[in-house]
Structure 1
Amino acid sequence: MIFTKEMLICLYKDLAIRIGKQPTKRQWLDDTKTPSDMPIRMNFGNWTNFVKSCGFEPLKSEISIQARLNSIKAHKGKRSMAWKGGRIKDRSGYVLIWKPEHANAKIGGYIHEHRLVMSEHLGRPLESYEYVHHRNGIKSDNRLENLELVTQKVHLGGVVCPYCSKRFSIR
């Protein structure tokens, strides 16, 4: 049987009335009173053009909440496409290491690398009043010989600028 555009539009609208909502392509193909999608492709080019010709707005595909949550979970941490081994720099220039199991790790699982190096050297987590001072003033230079454990009151000191060799005090 040859289907005209008008016949196909009538069949679509009839199906919409029977099921009580705008039919999807799957519902069209599963219905016994409607033809395959071949006459639609021959007369309209594709399903979207057919639905528009019937006076309906094409339906958007819906992603379930669970699928969306799984997608977010699948691209976090080590599974992220932007993963660089868990080593990042913060706005202040300090290096952060992703180590969520460490006692000094902040929310998000990151710990400052200089605190991690000192903590591992001492064999214990650092206390909140303990600070790690960079002797040469370079925040990303986290070699043990460049680090010094100090308290807040003592965390003032002279530093030599690595660029201009000028001496200044820091807090």
Structure 2
Amino acid sequence: MRSKSISQGETFGRWTVLGRDPERPNSKSRYRCRCECGTVRVIYANRLLTGHCRSCGCLRGDTLRSMKGNQHPNWKGGKATLNGYVQLTAGGPVRYEHRVVMERKLGRKLRKGESVHHINGLRDDNRPENLELWAKYQPAGQRVTDKCDWAEEILKRYEPEALTERLREAG
């Protein structure tokens, strides 16, 4: 371990010692220091000598900003959230996870006017069993199965022979 004496102009990490703490000039344990970024603070000598205080915090910020993707400590496997929705950010364009899960479930891309609804209301719960396909075209925001039932009811009511004919063709 170094000797306890610290002199003006000495550097520790990004700190440069300016002198003793002006509020306590007789104290040998507190020093006024300037960080490379320009911040001036009073720091205890033992924190400088042991390396526990290497900067005002700018070192960590600079280090994190230089880290990208899976090198960053906040990396969550290519996932991020926006307004509670999980976004997939790994490679390619950013996509909402619930839409990708529904497309896999359907075996096709979502069509214009189709949306994905979270049954339990939790936007980050993207299990296939928690997702429903909704269609936005008339009437807005209903389940596709409800719309099929509605369409069948309309055909029964207004064109029962067309419904019977379509069922025969399908079956």
Question: Which band: TM-score by shorter chain?
Answer: 0.3 to 0.5
Structure number with higher strand proportion:
2
TM-score normalised by the chain length of structure 1: 0.39
